[in-house]
Structure 1
C-alpha cells in the first residue's frame, strides 16, 4: 500500500529511512519512528524527569492532492520541550492521530517554499530537521 508519489518512495529507500504509512478513515500520514535529530530539546522520562532527547517519532500528515498540495506542519511524540521546560514556539498543542497523542508543531511553508511536483518529503523532512534543531 502506498499513496506516496514514486519520487518520495525512491527518496525514502535511498536514505534507508524507516517509516510507516497510515491510512485510516480518509486520513493519511507517514510516521518516522525514532527519527534522530540534532538540537537542544528535552522530553520527560518514566520518572517525570526532563532528559535530553535526540530522537522522537515524527508524523507528517499527507493531504488530499499531495504532491501538488504542499505539506504543512508536523507532529512529534513524545512531547518535546526546551531545557527550561518551556515549549518551542507554536508547539504547545497536542492532538490525537492514528490512535496516538502527538505534539502539534504549527509550521507553514510559504507558497514560494513549495514547488508542486518538484518538492516532496525530501524537502519537508529537511524543514522538520531544521525546525527541531532551531527549537
Structure 2
C-alpha cells in the first residue's frame, strides 16, 4: 500500500491519480517528499524508467517546487556528462541523483497557475532538452 504521510492539495492528488502510478508522500528529516515511481524517460537516456522524488517546499503551493531527483541515477547513452546532476542524496534508504534545474525570470513560478503538474511537465522538458543537446 502506498504511503501517505502528508496530503497534497486536492488538484495535485487528482493529477497524480490520472498517471496510474503508486505515488507516495513521505516525510524524512522534517522535509516532505513526493515519490513518483515508474516515470518513463525519453530515448537517449541509459534507462527507460526511473523513480522521481520531488521536494515539496514549505509554503507550497504559493512557494515554488524546484529540481527533481532520480533513482536510479541516469545518464545519456552517449555518456556525455549531464551538467548540474552530480549530487547524490540518500532518501528513503536509496541513492537519488539531484538535477539542479531552476525557474528563470523568463519562466517564473506563478502561484495560482503553477502546481505539481506544471512542475512535472517542466521537468519532462528538461529531460528532452538534455537529449537534444547531444
TM-score under structure 1 length normalisation:
0.83
Structure 2: gaps of 5 or more residues: none
1:122 CA displacement: 0.6
Instruction: Give the alignment partner of residue 117 of structure 1, picking from 93, 112, 118.
Output: 112
Q: Does 1:40 find its partner at 2:44?
A: yes
Which residue of the partner structure matches residue 26 of structure 1?
30
Report the equivalent of 2:121: 126
Q: What is the total number of aligned residue pairs between the two structures?
A: 125
Secondary structure at the counterpart of residue 126 of structure 2: helix
Which residue in the other structure is 2:93 paired with? 99
Secondary structure of the structure 1 residue equivalent to 2:48: strand
**CA contact 1:80–1:87 (8 Å) conserved in 2:** no
Poorly superposed stretches of 4+, deviation over 3 Å? none
How large is the RMSD of aligned CA atoms in angstroms? 1.6
In 2: Cα distance, 1:19 partner to 1:87 partner: 29
Normalising by structure 2, report the TM-score. 0.83
Asked whether the equivalents of residues 39 and 132 of structure 1 are also in contact (C-alpha less than 8 Å), the reply is no
Q: Which of the pair has the greater relative contact order for Cα pairs under 8 Å at 6+ separation?
A: 1
